[in-house]
Structure 1
Amino acid sequence: MNSTRFPRTARVRARSDFDRIFKHGRRVALPVLALHFQADQAVAPRLGLAVSRKVDPHAVGRNRIKRVLRDAFRHVRDELAPGDYVIVARPGASRCSGEELRTAFHSLLKRAGTRPAPALPLTPAPGTMPAASPSDPLPDPGPG
């Protein structure tokens, strides 16, 4: 999937969908954002945003919050479990920078358990035995 686009099919838009997610979905929250989500294997991950005038009385501020959250969702959409995700901004969100909003969003996803565990590193973890250097002599295989 092309992560640079945010098609209409990736949005929660209908009031009935918002009501269903708020009523039947799970919720995790931070002081600046709350995440309501409902797993649904039939749909690709979709995002809904709720940013009221209580969060910021100015449309410019509300739109900035939505733009940052849409962009953060767009970059992780392929990694998310199928279902609907609704982010509700709280009044403290208007004082957060874009990076702080992204961090809060990723923290919510992690707390909700909607992202798979990170892949294991390809390099082995350091152990208690030092690695052999090329100048070390080879051990004697013994009789055999």
Structure 2
Amino acid sequence: MNAHFPPSARVRTGAEYARVFEQARRTSDPILSLHWLAGETPAKLGLAVSRKVDPNAVGRNRIKRVFRDQFRKLRAQLPAGEYVVVARVAARKADNAQLRETFLRTLVRAGALPASAAPGTMPPVTKPLPSLSRNTPKPDVSAG
């Protein structure tokens, strides 16, 4: 896994943020709001964590660090475009695992990632099973 997060993978300027906020699809959760603007360039991340979310810089930086790390891990799987995460006040009380899970769930809800198969005991059905109805005659096995 490449731990590098180059400047080309970031939404950096105010004009880029403004364009994303104006034109992007928004998917929300109590912890964050995701703005996704599909585009031609590889996936880029922008973060907005205000003092309203956490008045302490340490808390704001923790939230940004968790989102940045999760994005870095998923970047190769994400469709091209710009992703801006706006943290909400509930993010302050969420632990790192909750932040990661919420970010992932929001990406799936937005359509940026495919939904994972639901865990269960039955294997997935690959082809439809033939229907057996009561009106179908049974094969004659006595003529042998």
TM range (shorter): 0.7 to 0.9
AA matched with 1:63: N
The alpha carbon displacement at 1:117 in A equals 5.3
CA distance in 2, matches of 1:125, 1:67: 37
Is the 8 Å Cα contact of residues 26 and 35 (structure 2) preserved in structure 1?
A: yes
TM-score (norm 2): 0.79
Identical columns (%): 50
CA distance in 2, matches of 1:3, 1:95: 30
AA matched with 2:31: V
AA matched with 2:13: A
CA distance in 2, matches of 1:117, 1:56: 31
AA matched with 2:29: L
CA distance in 1, matches of 2:71, 2:6: 12
Stretches of structure 2 lacking an aligned partner (at least 5 in a row): 126-144
TM-score (norm 1): 0.79
Identify which of 97, 100, 103 aligns with 2:101: 103
Is the 8 Å Cα contact of residues 108 and 115 (structure 2) preserved in structure 1?
A: no
AA matched with 2:57: A
The alpha carbon displacement at 1:3 in A equals 2.9
CA distance in 1, matches of 2:2, 2:84: 19
Identify which of 53, 63, 66 aligns with 1:65: 63
The alignment of Structure 1 onto Structure 2 pairs a total of residues equal to 121
1:38-58 CA-to-partner distances (Å, cap 9, x unmatched) read 000x20000000000000000
CA distance in 2, matches of 1:12, 1:63: 17
Q: Secondary structure at the match of 1:54?
A: coil
Superposition pairs for residues 41-120 of structure 1, below 5 Å? Answer: 42-116=40-114
CA distance in 1, matches of 2:88, 2:124: 43
CA distance in 2, matches of 1:104, 1:126: 26
| Residue 39 (structure 1) aligns with | 38
1:3-58 CA-to-partner distances (Å, cap 9, x unmatched) read 31111100001100100000010000000100001000x20000000000000000
Is the 8 Å Cα contact of residues 31 and 87 (structure 2) preserved in structure 1?
A: yes
Is the 8 Å Cα contact of residues 27 and 35 (structure 1) preserved in structure 2?
A: yes
Question: Could you list the runs of 4 or more consecutive aligned residues of structure 1 that deviate by over 3 angstroms after TM superposition?
Answer: 116-119
Is the 8 Å Cα contact of residues 44 and 82 (structure 1) preserved in structure 2?
A: yes
